[in-house]
């Protein structure tokens, strides 16, 4: 099934739903029945020579149901707890797993579907994404993720990133095990934390700043006081009794 054929079916399905007044979120069975009829009508026309027939009508119905009632091809990625970041460029979707592995989505998508999902997510906030406001940032998924999206004329196509917030419980030894640090570098950084050295961490999005800072915090002696200021909690800061704490360390992150 080509992208053009699928988009034709999706637009027709959305038009039919709008015409009936069915609520896609609460009337799933009615939506599926309507989509099955739409696919059957298309197959009938295709067999009469008006277009290419579908190789797997049932799979097409399932994909349309997911697109219309849920968050389209992004649904599974948004629901997976091991996916930390999702990158969208037009119809291309890639994601970053918790282990730091970048993969391509195995579910086909169109740019229109991805845009529909982005619009659904943004609609839950006080932001909007349209021609008059082609750049948007918002906290989505009940505040558990940050969405950044750009559309034309600022960009050539839809470009979006969805980053899920996750509490980091990292250590310097674990980073050595991942080959992110050498043993010598880890030993130096641990000594710097014990010496109350000032440290600034910087880098592009997704470079591992939060994980690295969490590992540094884990290396701070237990009787030091750590002050952490975060808009959304992502750092694991060990707690100790107030009687054991003394203020010795300060951190900055950009």
pLDDT digits (tens, 9 = 90+) for 44-96: 988 888 888 888 999 889 888 888 887 888 988 998 888 989 999 999 999 98
Higher pLDDT, 143 or 232: 143
Q: Are residues 212 and 140 in the same domain?
A: no
Tell me the pLDDT of the chain averaged across its residues: 84
Q: Out of 132, 165, 198, pick the residue that ends a domain.
A: 165
Q: Out of 139, 165, 191, pick the residue that ends a domain.
A: 165
Q: Are residues 98 and 59 in the same domain?
A: no
- Note the maximum CA span of the chain: 82
Q: What is the pLDDT of residue 232?
A: 60
Higher pLDDT, 122 or 243: 122
Express as a percent the part of the chain with pLDDT over 90: 33
For the cut 80, the answer to whether the pLDDT of residue 254 exceeds it is no
Among the listed residues 164, 77, 83, the one whose alpha carbon sits nearest the alpha carbon of residue 113: 77
Q: Out of 165, 190, 211, pick the residue that ends a domain.
A: 165
Q: Are residues 102 and 122 in the same domain?
A: yes
231, exposed or middle or buried, with CB in 10 Å at 0-12, 13-18, 19+?
exposed
Q: Are residues 157 and 177 in the same domain?
A: no
For the cut 80, the answer to whether the pLDDT of residue 236 exceeds it is no
Q: Are residues 7 and 65 in the same domain?
A: yes
Q: Are residues 38 and 113 in the same domain?
A: no
Q: Are residues 59 and 90 in the same domain?
A: no
What's the CATH number where 80 sits? 3.30.450.90
For the cut 80, the answer to whether the pLDDT of residue 205 exceeds it is no
The mean pLDDT value for 190-217 works out to: 87
Q: Are residues 64 and 142 in the same domain?
A: no
In the chain, which residue ranges form alpha helices assigned H by DSSP? 3-20, 28-47, 57-69, 75-79, 111-122, 172-177, 183-194, 209-218
How many domains, in total, are found in the chain?
A: 3
Q: Are residues 148 and 193 in the same domain?
A: no
Express as a percent the part of the chain with pLDDT over 70: 89
Q: Please tell me the distance from the alpha carbon of residue 191 to that of residue 193, in angstroms, as a whole number.
A: 5
Q: What is the pLDDT of residue 162?
A: 94
Q: Please tell me the distance from the alpha carbon of residue 238 to that of residue 209, in angstroms, as a whole number.
A: 18
Q: Are residues 161 and 239 in the same domain?
A: no
Q: Are residues 94 and 27 in the same domain?
A: no
- 89-137 tens-digit pLDDT: 999 999 988 767 889 998 888 998 999 899 989 988 888 999 999 999 9
Q: Domain residues for 210?
A: 172-253
Q: What is the pLDDT of residue 157?
A: 95
């Amino acid at each position: 099934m080509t992208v053009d054929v699928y988009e034709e079916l999706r637009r027709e399905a959305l038009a039919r739903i709008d015409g009936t007044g069915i609520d896609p979120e609460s009337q799933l069975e009615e939506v599926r029945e309507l989509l099955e009829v739409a696919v059957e009508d298309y197959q009938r026309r295709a067999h009469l020579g008006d277009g290419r027939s579908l190789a797997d009508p049932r799979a097409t119905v399932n994909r349309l149901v997911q697109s219309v009632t849920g968050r389209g091809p992004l649904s599974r990625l948004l629901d997976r707890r091991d996916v930390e970041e999702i990158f969208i460029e037009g119809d291309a979707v890639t994601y970053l797993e918790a282990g730091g592995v970048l993969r391509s989505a195995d579910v086909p998508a169109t740019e229109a579907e991805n845009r529909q999902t982005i619009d659904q997510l943004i609609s839950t906030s006080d932001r909007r994404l349209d021609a008059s406001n082609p750049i948007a940032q918002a906290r989505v998924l009940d505040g558990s993720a940050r969405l950044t999206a750009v559309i034309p004329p600022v960009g050539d196509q839809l470009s979006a990133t969805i980053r899920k917030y996750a509490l980091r419980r990292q250590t310097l030894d674990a980073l050595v095990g991942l080959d992110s640090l050498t043993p010598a570098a880890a030993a130096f950084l641990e000594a710097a934390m014990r010496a109350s050295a000032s440290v600034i961490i910087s880098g592009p999005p997704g470079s591992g700043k939060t994980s690295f800072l969490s590992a540094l915090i884990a290396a701070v002696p237990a009787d030091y006081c750590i002050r952490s200021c975060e808009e959304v909690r992502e750092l694991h800061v060990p707690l100790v009794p107030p009687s054991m704490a003394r203020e010795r360390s300060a951190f900055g992150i950009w």
